[in-house]
Structure 1
Amino acid sequence: MKRKTFLLIAFFILATVSVLAQKTTIQDKLGEMTKAPNPKKVLKLFKETVNEFQLNKVSDAETFDMMYGTLALSNIMKQKIKAYEQNIGMIQNKFNQTSYMNMAADMLSNNKQTLQLSKSIAEKTLQLYYSFKNDTTARPLDFDPISWKRFMEMAKYPYHETYAKILNELNLSKEALLQQEIAIEGLQIEELGQTSAELYAKILIANNRNQDAYIVLKRMAELDRASDKMIIKLKNLHEELTGDKAVKMLDSIKQNLRLAYQQKVLKKIIKDTKAPSFTLQNLNGIHKSLEDYKGKVVVIDFWATWCVPCIQSMPAMDQMRKNNPDVAFLFIATQEKPNGAFERVKSFIEKNQYQFEVLLDLVDGKYPTVTDYKISGIPAKIIIDASGNLLFSSIGFTNESNLVNELQAMIDIAKGKSQYN
């Protein structure tokens, strides 16, 4: 497992292990706490949860840690420092303490008025982290010594990176660079997440290391992990450093990405499979069947109004629809609670002014289409060629650029326009 992937899992594992074992109703209660508008409401939900589920501070220690952590974050966002410190002090697991302290520092860093407070918390986070990093008694019993040592070494990543972000915002660029390089020590550019790479490039530029920033940004663009802001900065640096327009360089990256994605998706092609037929109602109450789009490439987007990644992917899907006017895009809303499903879906589409062909996958309280297509999670994209063959099935959403490039590669193959056909 790559270091960045392990870190992402490791960062939350101790804080979530108890909750995942609980009933859904407890998860709902904890979810309410994170969304509560003020500390008073969080505390009320805290007490309700303890009483309702008869939580024990010993056997349910991890759940208590999450609740105290959530209450701490609520208090610090209101700058109730004493209450925040009391809440953090109630967290039993030291790693959980540093996790919530880091979250607090990161949240406060987004407001210039709280940067100094953010800096103070980030420094205390690192102090606490290093106080138990090599303490063998801090290791949970379900962690073997080798895994725990590796885990703790990687945990420094988010803590130093948060501190680097804050220092850079305070125009302490040299100190920020030191902290960011500690955070990403031992990682190649290819192993950096988008946020880390963007921050690293920003700090490098602040230290007049434009050539190094250019290398980072260009590599991230080549990997299709550069945000729009990163692309703009890359363009500006290219023109500044070379004196040439960046169009040719960016076009070359785009072309290479197209070819790379085509090679990648070809390995995922589904052979000799007819797409299951379906007949569903659209938002005008008209029944639509897959056969209505015979002779066209069809892209199906399985989604739901409650699915955050589904909603996040929709602007990119809207752009894909506009870029491919000869393709039939069907947005099939599925796994909606039956009561009020039609009105809920229609309201969402109208509110966001999407010009989508939306079908509702709900028949007698069941979701037949998502079942027939054997979809294991949403959002899910299905690509069907003009002959009705199911070619691709893709689940999940990472970022808009990845979605656009991967889906376009699939569409091109379905159209027969790929050089690999």
Structure 2
Amino acid sequence: MRTITLFLITTISCTVWDARAQDKEMFYSRARALAKQTDPVKATDSMYAIIQDLHLKNSEDVDMLKGEVAMAYLRVNDEAQFEAYIKQIWNKFNQTSYLNMGAEELLNKKINLAYAEKIAAQTVNLYLSYKDDPAAKPAEFPLEDWNRFMQMAMYPYYETYAAILHANGKDKDALFYLRMALKNEDMDGLSPEVAELYSTLLLANGLEDEAWDILLKMAEAGRGSSAMHIQLRKLGVKKLGSEIRTTVFLDSIRQNLEAIHLASLTQKMIVDTQAPDFTVSDLNGKEVSLVKLKGKIVVVDFWATWCLPCIASMPAMENLRKKYPEVLFLFIATKDKASAVNEYCKKNKLPVHTFLDKPAADVASSFKVSGIPTKAIIDRNGNLRFQTTGYSSDQELMLEMEAMIKIVKDL
């Protein structure tokens, strides 16, 4: 949700900025550096230096700086200073945006959830206090765009609050606020993460028929998570009367999806392209070269410890590695610190077959990786056959990867 919120803030800021282009770029460059500052006192000093050096009078830009300073204090558990800087933010929309960022960050880190609930409630209440107030709109901001932003903002604020209420065991209230978040949303476009939360809350409140509809729709679209698959199976046994009937029913859904993926991916297979050769070292310093792996199907997974979608995809990738022992899976950590990769792998016991890209991300660059996670599938002759980027759900990842592996195995 931080991405959505920052998009809204920066869009407002860009709309009302009246400085020269180079000044704007300088501002964003220094603001990004401030946001990375871990010491809140230094972050505060940086904020005042930016305001003074760039002669800032624009409240939107100063709001952004104060919001990042507030976040720096939150990360060292200084709740009083976090709230103090939030209150200094001029625009109420920016206040709610940074309150929501704070609540979401605590939720993601699974820390101080009582305080996360408090500031998530403040976010919702503050949003409700100004969403229909024309005075809250920046003077230079078009009314139509402002109304659209207000509509967009409702979703992350309510969804974050619902997720935190659920984490604190308040599932009845959580369902109420999640329904509020989804009131104007296209249910067919529901993300797997939110769909899982929705089905969990429906089941917790005894609404099994509604949960079944959501779970079935996501399964048929190939976008369910592992947890949703478990939920669907349990409900299936209740509805269909036995494990066997449920297995047959779910298998039919999966087979249909597999056929669709096979047909689609066969058309997208890369031809006449040799995979870039590379040599990487594992966490113990042992080298592996692609040129020496001819005769094997190789799956390369470019990832990083700081990449949340990469981490989310790891359990599904581990299941694939176990399911296809004849395929060699190489997990290459790119643009990451060796110490962070070592610590992560030691703590989580995966990914197995972890290797380190060079600091300049040479291997990722040779594969023209534009984002992570990226998976590359290489055939027995060293030809690059598939390359895919991103992660949305376990089910979608598993279906796509299994289809690509099957196609390459049959070559």
User: Is this a same-fold pair by TM over 0.5?
Assistant: yes
The answer to whether the aligner puts 1:394 opposite 2:399 as a matched pair is no
Structure 1 pair 20–94 and aligned structure 2 pair: CA distance change class (3 A): farther
Deviation at 1:211, TM superposition (A): 0.8
Structure 1 pair 102–26 and aligned structure 2 pair: CA distance change class (3 A): closer
Contact 1:300 1:329 in 2 (8 A): yes
| Distance in structure 1 (CA, Å) of the matches to 2:99 and 2:334 | 39
Partner of 1:58: 57
Matches within 5 A, 1:149-164: 149-164=147-162
**Structure 1: gaps spanning 5 or more residues:** 1-6, 34-40
The answer to whether the aligner puts 1:27 opposite 2:35 as a matched pair is no
Partner of 1:238: 236
Partner of 1:331: 331
Contact 2:272 2:383 in 1 (8 A): yes
What one-letter code is carried by the residue in structure 2 that aligns with 1:403?
L
Structure 1 pair 390–122 and aligned structure 2 pair: CA distance change class (3 A): closer
| Distance in structure 1 (CA, Å) of the matches to 2:305 and 2:201 | 38
Partner of 2:185: 187
Deviation at 1:73, TM superposition (A): 4.1
| Distance in structure 2 (CA, Å) of the matches to 1:228 and 1:125 | 31
Structure 1 pair 283–209 and aligned structure 2 pair: CA distance change class (3 A): closer
What one-letter code is carried by the residue in structure 2 that aligns with 1:387?
N
| Distance in structure 2 (CA, Å) of the matches to 1:328 and 1:121 | 47
**Deviation string, structure 1 residues 316-363 (Cα, Å, up to 9, x no partner):** 3333222212122233444457xxx6x87667656655584455544x
Partner of 1:248: 248
Structure 1 pair 181–252 and aligned structure 2 pair: CA distance change class (3 A): same
Partner of 2:409: 415
The answer to whether the aligner puts 1:89 opposite 2:81 as a matched pair is no
The answer to whether the aligner puts 1:67 opposite 2:64 as a matched pair is no
Instruction: Name which of 7, 23, 30 aligns with 1:13.
Output: 7
Contact 1:222 1:257 in 2 (8 A): yes
Partner of 1:293: 293
Partner of 1:49: 46
Q: Which moved more, 1:141-150 or 1:217-226?
A: 141-150
| Distance in structure 2 (CA, Å) of the matches to 1:185 and 1:170 | 23
| Distance in structure 1 (CA, Å) of the matches to 2:97 and 2:274 | 49
Identity across the alignment (%): 38
**Deviation string, structure 1 residues 350-409 (Cα, Å, up to 9, x no partner):** 6655584455544xx755433332222333221112233211111233444433332222
| Distance in structure 1 (CA, Å) of the matches to 2:174 and 2:357 | 51
Structure 1 pair 397–16 and aligned structure 2 pair: CA distance change class (3 A): farther
What one-letter code is carried by the residue in structure 2 that aligns with 1:50?
M
Instruction: Name which of 398, 403, 407 aligns with 1:404.
Output: 398
Per the normalisation by structure 1, the TM-score is 0.75
Structure 1 pair 22–298 and aligned structure 2 pair: CA distance change class (3 A): farther
Matches within 5 A, 1:216-227: 216-227=214-225
Deviation at 1:61, TM superposition (A): 1.2
SS in 2 for 1:240: helix
Partner of 1:98: 96
Partner of 2:18: none
